[in-house]
Structure 1
Amino acid sequence: MASSLESNNPKVSKSVMKHHSFTRYWFRKFDDSSPVLIRSVENGTLYQVGVGTNDDQIWLVHVWGMNGYDYGYAYGTLLAKQIIEFLPKVWKHFEEEVMDNLKDLHLPQWLEDLISDKGLAFALDVQAKVSEAYMDEELFNEMKGVADGAKADYAVIRRLHFIGEITRGRCSLYGLWGNATLGGKTLQLRALDWDINGGLQDYPVVTIYHPLSEKLGHAFANVAWAGTLTGMSSTRLGISEIGVYFSDDTFGDESFFGIPFIFVERYILQHSNTLDDALSYIADVHRTCHLMLAVGDGNLGTARMIQYSHSKVNFFDDLNLEPLADWHPRIPNVIYEGMDWVCPSVQFKLYQQIIKNYGQITPEVSIRDITAVIESGDLHVAVYDLTDNIMYVSNARGTNEQGPLKAYERQFIKFDLNVEFARSKIVR
């Protein structure tokens, strides 16, 4: 389902580096054209970006609300056609992939047995029911709003929001600040190596949430298809995540009894004002599975990496970053992780590319000479400029698009979140 791990031998990784020096990479100027208005409804507006080309188009949705249902209903109404196409196709694919590759997902035995005996839908329904005790009801209300607005199956929408706990994804991340970047900017990477065979890339959406009540927090941007996977907030926080398949004894156990990680990320974007807010929330929240998270703060000019499980949590900066090994050295003003907790070849490649460009890293350099070289971010890649509040996003090639297949090879679209967070609702 996700990209296979490379060899765990750092010597192998060095030979791979030599091979990559001869590879040609796809890089063009960012698409920074203005969004094109498609239509509006009572609490939402639909735009399209990248319409000047045939190979890179993303839906941009703005939603306003007094509650989660308002958000969801506007979203579902605006994207009804896409959602009706998306749900059965993607659910069928994930169900088949999980059942056929269950042993390869490295799930806790109890969870593997539950899926094997009762099926994926049953397991996800159980998790949703258990999670109700820990989650804000507005999240479920939003999913119900999407279902009503699109006239779609609520159960399938809910299951797809919980499936990340099972499939996770082998991804890469970094946080760079101070001397590591050109001009001392705070930059963050979220490279998602997930499933490019299920059709997710046919429905890329960036959603801008505009709260009309205090209980919904502040404005934030979400890049995803279902749930929160990638995003930045109006308080200049960014999130990144890596699913852990190969952990060690520094991790704790895993559990269904807690808040699925995509909703932990969602809370950080929606409600945390500072890095300290986010870290305190992670420390106290009912966590679930093995992960690595990163939170960057453009106001403080720094980032932290979090080793995450149901029973344990550890926080790292550039001075105590783990795992500490010859294939994963520490770098001043940098946190970084490639593909997994124990994945020496990718970790070492990521280290080499950061060192090669150290002090000169910009979003353009990151796209051209970091993710393209380590080949991470096949489904989508986002680079956050947390200093200037700008997000650069690339999505894998959709069915009717042109150009390279994987997101890290493709053109990126620039989103000026200063503009998007300030955008006014269109009065109908």
Structure 2
Amino acid sequence: MLNQSRLYYCLIGLFLFTQTSSCHRVNAIKNVGAFCANDTSKGDPNLNPIDQSEPKLINKVQNGTLYQIGSGDDQIYLIHVYGNSGYDFGYAYGTLLRDEVNKVIPRAWQYFEQQIIDSLKSLKLPKWFEDIIADKGLAFALDLQNELVREYIDEEIYNEMHGVADGAQIDFKTVVRLHMLGEITRGRCSLYGLWGNATLGGKTLQLRALDWDVDAGLQDYPVVTIYHPGTSKLGHPFANVAWAGYIGTLTGMSSQRLGISEIGVSYPDDTFGDESMSGLPFIFVERYILQYSDTIDDALSFIADVKRTCHLILGVADGNLGTARMIQYSHSKVNFFDDQNLQPLADWHPRIPNAIYSGMDWLCPSRQFKLYTAITEQYGQITPESSIKNITAYVKTGDLHVGVYDLTDNVMYVANARGTNEQGPLEAYKRQFVKVDLNIEFARQR
């Protein structure tokens, strides 16, 4: 009989030989589903005042300082990590957030494991990978997936995950598995990039609204991590918005005034290429852009050259150059769009000068048109505050968390879903936003 190690490599060889896979839900859906076809309802404005209170110091260790921002039920951990290695970052992070990591990771893992197993047939995963989950369990399957992507991931990322595990005194493999989940459990999301005549004062603004599962408990421990590299090999300072124990990037800004947004595509068309489970996971593609790219051109070049995996829509905006791009992203194809050639071009997704945008998916008429309407109704007067009040709330996007970036002034606004035993509305887009002045946070000394 094959032992598990040998089985890994036999299966990897089979995968690389066949190259027939999709890295998460849906392989080739041709028709728009009910979710995207029918929701035309509009949300009420978000009238909550934006919290602008000063960070409150909680604790500090070597290479790390922990603060709390926000108030009441909308508090967020703000953690600063410093160092000359990924392990320095991770160990400080894990030490300062030990209790939170040990609460959220086991709960989230148990939830996602059960959800994936229960809905396995509907995920449209490659048959061979589905069989591995069914026969060997999700943990074994994600360990295999980690072997498929290991060669593409910077070793400092693994060093950081080791540091998190050691600092928090939690199993390293569990931390790694959590970071593999994004490749098979993508969420519906929305994004925009606005500049020039689209905004008040010509600012460069960006939206990242994450519509993902609010039942896993991730929002109980929201974290904004500010990275302060002590050496050029670790890039430049950047801010990552996530939850305790998660170092991949779904939402964030860099000290180079670059912002990142992402949408998982469940309803592609035939302009997308194929998918693969072998490549750099998209959460680390996004993180690389924030950590190492100096301009939007650097980011687009990296996306063009990297070994990509899944069907996605990415958004990158540059506050220094005052522009943004939307990227149609798959394993075998990549296309870059500005306001002049934005796709898909349809009566439910018209082009807007000085804007790129996508609501919830690629082929998603009602959600796309709602976002178009929300942008055009206040075109030329859009600010972060008006976006929070009248765009995300109107479109009803950003269940789990929302980030609105002012890339001109280097300020970020963040909201999270209601946590366990908290009060108020569930969805992040309905809740109070917290202002994070990154001019201050990137300059904050150890």
CA distance in 2, matches of 1:326, 1:108: 34
Match of 1:223 in 2: 241
Match of 1:149 in 2: 167
CA distance in 2, matches of 1:95, 1:187: 36
Percent identity, please.
69
C-alpha RMSD over aligned residues: 1.6
Match of 2:89 in 1: 71
Q: Over residues 390-416 of structure 1, what are the superposed CA-to-partner deviations in whole Å (9 max), with x where a residue is unaligned? A: 000000011132221110000100000
SS in 2 for 1:163: helix
TM-score when normalising by structure 1: 0.94
Number of residue pairs matched by the alignment = 414
Change (3 A) 1:5 1:379: farther
CA distance in 2, matches of 1:68, 1:152: 17
Runs of 4+ aligned residues of structure 1 deviating over 4 Å after TM superposition are 4-9
CA distance in 1, matches of 2:77, 2:328: 33
Letter in 1 for 2:169: K
Match of 2:58 in 1: 38
Change (3 A) 1:6 1:48: farther
CA distance in 2, matches of 1:134, 1:54: 41
8 A contact 2:46–2:388 mirrored in 1: no
Letter in 2 for 1:419: I
CA distance in 2, matches of 1:116, 1:333: 48
Q: 1:337 aligns with which of 352, 355, 358?
A: 358
8 A contact 1:106–1:245 mirrored in 2: no
8 A contact 1:76–1:148 mirrored in 2: yes
CA distance in 2, matches of 1:348, 1:361: 18
Match of 1:406 in 2: 427
Q: 1:285 aligns with which of 279, 291, 306?
A: 306
SS in 2 for 1:167: coil
Match of 2:288 in 1: 267
CA distance in 1, matches of 2:36, 2:208: 22
SS in 2 for 1:326: coil
Q: CA deviation at 1:5?
A: 6.2
Q: Over residues 150-193 of structure 1, what are the superposed CA-to-partner deviations in whole Å (9 max), with x where a residue is unaligned? A: 10011111111111111011000000000110110000000000
8 A contact 2:44–2:393 mirrored in 1: no
Letter in 2 for 1:31: D
Q: Does 1:118 align with 2:140?
A: no
CA distance in 2, matches of 1:377, 1:223: 13
Matching of residues 58-137 of structure 1 within 5 Å = 58-137=76-155
Change (3 A) 1:5 1:356: farther
CA distance in 1, matches of 2:365, 2:34: 8
Which consecutive residues of structure 1, in runs of 5 or more, have no partner in the other structure? none
8 A contact 1:66–1:212 mirrored in 2: yes
SS in 2 for 1:293: strand
Q: CA deviation at 1:229?
A: 1.1
8 A contact 1:108–1:254 mirrored in 2: no
Match of 1:175 in 2: 193
Change (3 A) 1:209 1:299: same
CA distance in 1, matches of 2:356, 2:264: 16
Q: CA deviation at 1:118?
A: 2.8
Letter in 2 for 1:245: S
Q: CA deviation at 1:6?
A: 5.0
Q: Over residues 53-89 of structure 1, what are the superposed CA-to-partner deviations in whole Å (9 max), with x where a residue is unaligned? A: 3221000000001000000000000000001111111
Q: Over residues 227-274 of structure 1, what are the superposed CA-to-partner deviations in whole Å (9 max), with x where a residue is unaligned? A: 211000000000000001111111111112110000000100000000
CA distance in 2, matches of 1:114, 1:298: 45
Match of 1:27 in 2: 47
Which consecutive residues of structure 2, in runs of 5 or more, have no partner in the other structure? 1-24, 26-31
Letter in 2 for 1:304: R
Q: 2:342 aligns with which of 321, 328, 348?
A: 321
Letter in 2 for 1:85: K
Q: CA deviation at 1:130?
A: 2.0
CA distance in 2, matches of 1:322, 1:136: 32
8 A contact 1:6–1:346 mirrored in 2: no
CA distance in 2, matches of 1:273, 1:185: 19
Match of 1:394 in 2: 415
Match of 2:394 in 1: 373
CA distance in 1, matches of 2:234, 2:269: 37
8 A contact 2:76–2:223 mirrored in 1: yes
CA distance in 2, matches of 1:99, 1:230: 27
SS in 1 for 2:72: coil
CA distance in 2, matches of 1:183, 1:106: 46
8 A contact 1:54–1:402 mirrored in 2: no
CA distance in 2, matches of 1:170, 1:135: 25
Match of 2:4 in 1: none
Q: CA deviation at 1:113?
A: 3.6
CA distance in 2, matches of 1:310, 1:379: 27
CA distance in 1, matches of 2:75, 2:127: 41
Letter in 2 for 1:38: I
SS in 2 for 1:241: strand
